[in-house]
A = this chain, B = another copy of it.
Amino acid sequence: MQLTGKNLIGLIDTAEGAHTFTGVDATLGTELPTTFYEATDAEVDRAVVLADRAFATYRRKSGAQKADFLEKIADEIMALGDALLERCHQETALPLGRLQGERGRTCGQLRLFAELLREGSWVEARIDTALPDRQPLPRPDLRQMLIPLGPVAVFGASNFPLAFSVAGGDTASALAAGCSVVVKAHPAHPGTSEMVGRAIRKAAEATGMPEGVFSLVHGGIAPGTKLVGHPLIKAVGFTGSFRGGKALYDAAVRRPEPIPVYAEMGSTNPVFVLPGALKERGAALAQGLAQSVTLGVGQFCTNPGVVVVEQSDEAEAFLKTTGEQLANVAPTPMLTSGLLQAYHKGIEGLKKMEGVAVMQANVADGATLAPAHWLRASVQTALRHPELTEEVFGPSSVGLVAERKEELYEFARQLHGHLTATLHATEADLAEYRDLVALLEQKVGRLIVNSFPTGVEVSHAMNHGGPYPATTDVRTTSVGTQAIKRFVRPLCYQGFPSAALPEALQDANPLNLWRLVNGEWSKEAI
């Protein structure tokens, strides 16, 4: 595919803006050929107006029609072949094997939502039949289902250039819900974004979806701000930094009509290695931790940034082995030079803090490479300096040593919201530390026993979210089928004749859905 650098506004390619940029070879740090055009306000406006017009049609497509569309997107992404992976590798320095896996995840996610749509019960149909003879007043016939919110703005993330980007989880779940989508591409992988954007456009045309059901705009803060402020946008999906996500949230809640913002803003993902587990398998845990910390050059929002142990000989051995394991990891390039600079700055900040010791500092021989780091401090130090446990985006982690068990609890109590917390524990540990589990339940979106937080399964039971500041909306997940709930709301029909209702609510249950009928789940007709 020949890249054009243009914005994809409905079916039209446009390049009206004066601000341009290029992709960057993340391994070499050099500019890539195509010039990309940041979208102007007028281009963003056209994309949103088209999305709004498309929404009126798209929201009424059947589950099967939307499923065809999503599956066709997956097919078109696969049809891009190696060219997509190669461009993506150039722009992100992520290894081809990883990108192949991420492409599989992206397409698998689209197909899982298609499956959800074909089955259909996700609309949560609820029917309370009329009770005309009830005293003192009759009960009317009431039927409720979930309907889509409207056009959604999606902000691509840099660290998952496929799975959390143009055709990533937010786009897939919003389209599945019946919302039209305008994506602002992440400027760190504009070529990848254009390729995937064209695949979505092609799929929309092939499956008869209305023009504007999907548009793609390029650029940074300016088009992003315009998008979130547009009165026809009804919700926002974002994955990225706290600063970026919070700015979008602040803009959205100050609009004349406030709208929901689902910003997933990362997290330090505390890991507790409990005494029984340390004794039983400390060396293996050190190896697993080193792998998890450096997975994807530490550029996972579930990267384990803090590891807590109680002081003991086994703990010392674990801390030491983790450093040795990290020393074996060859430095690789980060996604952008900006992220690498921020990583170095973050590490320097940690190193300067009183009470922080460096256990392992790898050396990088190359301007784009990020060397892994392993630091240590006492839990007491971390309690006095909460900034010690803030996220440093990259392949580093801080080991914290508690003098007493009670310090673990104190540390857990003062945690703010995180995406995950992890316990490495024997069954006896879990019983002994059950109050720690209870504390952590209130701090995170996912609690893990005996594995590492990196790796977020796309499934029905996954929750990828968590209390603020991990996200701006603890009530939802950005990964898994439940993500569809972000972009819907209930609508109740009262007293409608069956034929005038959406199929999901009609007496005969023509879609064969699970429905809550007078308080009982059933697939029966009324």
Min CB gap A292→B, angstroms? 13
Separation in Å of the A237 CB from the closest CB of chain B? 14
Interface size class of A (residues with CB under 8 A): 35 or more
Stoichiometry (number of copies): 2
Task: State the Cβ distance, A277 to closest chain B Cβ, in Å.
Answer: 12
Residues of chain B with a CB closer than 8 A to A119's CB: 519
A149 within 8 A of B: yes
**Bound: A384/B77 CA distance, A:** 49
Q: Does A168 contact B (CB under 8 A)?
A: no
- Smallest Cβ distance from A373 to chain B, in angstroms? 27
A415: Cβ under 8 A from any B Cβ? no
**Which of B144, B444, B451, B518 interacts with A463 by CB under 8 Å?**
B144
Are B514 and A142 closer than 8 Å at their CB atoms? no
| Given contact pairs A140-B451, A442-B150, A477 touches B494 in the complex (Cβ within 8 A) | no
> Which one, B128, B450, B474, B497, contacts A459 given CB within 8 A?
B128
Residues of B contacting A446 with CB < 8 Å? 491-494
What chain B residues lie within 8 Å of A382 (beta carbons)? Answer: none
> Is B128's CB under 8 angstroms from A450's CB?
no
Report the Cα distance A139→B260, complex, angstroms. Answer: 32
B457 lies within 8 A of A500 (CB): no
Is B468 a contact partner of A258 (Cβ separation < 8 A)? Answer: yes
The answer to whether B437 and A492 touch across the interface, beta carbons within 8 angstroms, is no
| Residue numbers in B under 8 Å from A441 (CB-CB) | 147, 491
Would A461 and B258 count as touching, CB distance under 8 A? no
**Is A323 interfacial (CB-CB < 8 Å)?**
no
Do B495 and A451 touch across chains, with their CB atoms under 8 A apart?
Answer: yes
A489→B514 CA distance, assembly (Å): 23
CB<8 Å pairs between A and B, sample of 6:
A137-B455, A144-B482, A446-B493, A448-B494, A460-B519, A475-B489
List the 8 closest A-B pairs by CB distance, nearest first.
Answer: A463-B492, A126-B461, A142-B461, A253-B253, A446-B492, A144-B461, A128-B461, A448-B494
Given A137-B455, A447-B493, A451-B494: 9 more A-B contacts, CB < 8 Å: A142-B457, A142-B462, A150-B442, A253-B258, A431-B500, A445-B489, A446-B491, A447-B492, A475-B490
